[in-house]
């Protein structure tokens, strides 16, 4: 089973999120069936990241989008638990600052994209500028509707510079969202994450669904595809994302770079009998 093929939004296709089961588990019957597989993926991702960092020929940008409580934080915590923070970071985009608002909407995004050798994970992203601004009428339609093409061009420029882009929409049912809100409300360690605004936003669930459908239809491209990840089951969400990330990095055919120094000379100078005796 190729997770990339199963969950990708084919460019140009129509998207009806109401027809996609957010509780799907594919071939896995329960969490225990996937635990060992997830462990292997984490180990594989660790080795692939090492090749990425050492080679400095590719970069990886991962974009996580989804409604509140869909699991963006949890996905980052579990899928990327084994990566070396020296070559990976997370950036969460909040409400724009006055300085950011004084520039075009992609200005603050470009500054956070990964350098060659690095992995960067966006917890929310430039897609908020065609989602929340649309749902809440923050800017006119003739403004946000032009942004799809601008986003596609922006992502194309990143890919042309050897950045691989993976975009994940964490697809969750309204019933599961309410269940997770309740769990936060009842857990003293997570109560800080809940607010009345979270519940108020539920009134716009269908509007967000429509907005996401248009995003998925208009910005899933061959160079920067979207993947719709069933996310009612957290363990399956994590497994599916890890599989796609590993499959994608593996397909780059990365290898350790050749050494640029004279190893024989270094051994002769620093590891001959005289030197080792002194040390």
Report in angstroms the alpha-carbon separations of 239 from 61, 143, 202: 18, 37, 27
Expressed as residue numbers, the domain containing 97 is 3-278
Total domains in the fold of the chain:
1
Hey, is 48 helix, strand or coil? helix
- pLDDT class for 271, splitting at 50, 70, 90? confident
Report in angstroms the alpha-carbon separations of 269 from 175, 265, 275, 276: 68, 6, 8, 10
Bridge-based pairing of strands 226-230 and 59-65 is: unpaired
The answer, yes or no, to whether residue 279 has pLDDT greater than 60, is: no
pLDDT at 148: 98
CATH of residue 222's domain is 3.40.50.300
What number is the average pLDDT over the span 59-80? 97
| pLDDT tens, residue by residue, 235-266 | 999 999 999 999 999 999 999 999 989 998 88
pLDDT at 27: 78
Mean pLDDT, the chain, rounded, equals: 94
- pLDDT class for 276, splitting at 50, 70, 90? low
pLDDT at 273: 59
CA atoms lying within 13 Å on the CB side of residue 31: 6
pLDDT at 57: 97
| pLDDT tens, residue by residue, 178-206 | 999 999 999 999 999 999 999 999 999 99
CA–CA gap between residue 65 and residue 213 (Å, rounded) = 12
pLDDT at 274: 60
- CA-nearest of 170, 93, 168 to 129 is 93
pLDDT at 29: 66
- CA-nearest of 66, 74, 41, 50 to 245 is 41
pLDDT at 99: 96
Reading phi first (left if > 0) and then psi (alpha if -120 to 50, else beta), residue 65 is in beta
Close Cβ partners of 174 (under 8 Å, ≥ 6 residues apart): 202, 205
What pairs with residue 229 in β-bridges? 170
The answer, yes or no, to whether residue 122 has pLDDT greater than 70, is: yes
Reported for 99-107, long-range contacts at CB under 8 A and 24+ positions apart, including other chains, are 105/129, 105/147, 106/150, 106/151, 106/154
Q: Which helix (H) or strand (E) holds 50?
A: helix 31-55
Percent of the chain whose pLDDT exceeds 90:
89
- pLDDT class for 110, splitting at 50, 70, 90? very high
- pLDDT class for 49, splitting at 50, 70, 90? very high
Measured on CA atoms in the order 105, 107, 112, 115, is the torsion positive or negative?
Answer: positive
| pLDDT tens, residue by residue, 5-34 | 999 999 999 999 999 999 999 877 678 878
The answer, yes or no, to whether residue 1 has pLDDT greater than 80, is: no
């Amino acid at each position: 089973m190729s997770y990339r093929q199963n969950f990708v939004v084919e460019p140009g296709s129509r998207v009806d999120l109401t027809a996609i089961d957010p509780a799907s588990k594919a071939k896995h019957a329960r969490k225990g069936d996937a635990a060992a597989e997830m462990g292997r993926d984490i180990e594989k991702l660790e080795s692939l990241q090492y090749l990425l960092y050492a080679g400095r020929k590719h970069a990886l940008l991962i974009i996580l989008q989804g409604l509140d409580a869909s699991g963006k934080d949890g996905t980052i915590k579990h899928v990327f638990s084994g990566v070396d923070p020296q070559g990976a970071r997370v950036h969460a985009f909040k409400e724009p600052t006055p300085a950011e608002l004084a520039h075009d909407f992609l200005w603050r995004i470009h500054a956070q994209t990964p350098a060659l050798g690095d992995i960067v994970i966006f917890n929310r992203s430039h897609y908020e500028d065609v989602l929340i601004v649309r749902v809440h009428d923050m800017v006119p339609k003739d403004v946000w509707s032009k942004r799809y093409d601008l986003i596609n061009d922006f992502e194309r420029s990143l890919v042309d510079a050897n950045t691989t882009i993976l975009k994940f929409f964490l697809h969750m049912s309204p019933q599961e969202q309410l269940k997770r809100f309740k769990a936060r409300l009842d857990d003293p360690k997570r109560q800080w994450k809940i607010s009345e605004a979270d519940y108020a936003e539920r009134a716009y669930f269908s509007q967000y669904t429509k907005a996401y459908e248009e995003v998925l239809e208009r910005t899933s491209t061959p160079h920067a595809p979207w993947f719709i990840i069933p996310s009612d089951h957290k363990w399956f969400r994590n497994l599916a994302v890890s599989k796609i990330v590993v499959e994608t990095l593996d397909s780059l055919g990365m290898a350790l770079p050749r050494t640029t120094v004279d190893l024989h000379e270094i051994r002769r100078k620093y590891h001959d009998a005289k030197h080792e005796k002194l040390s």
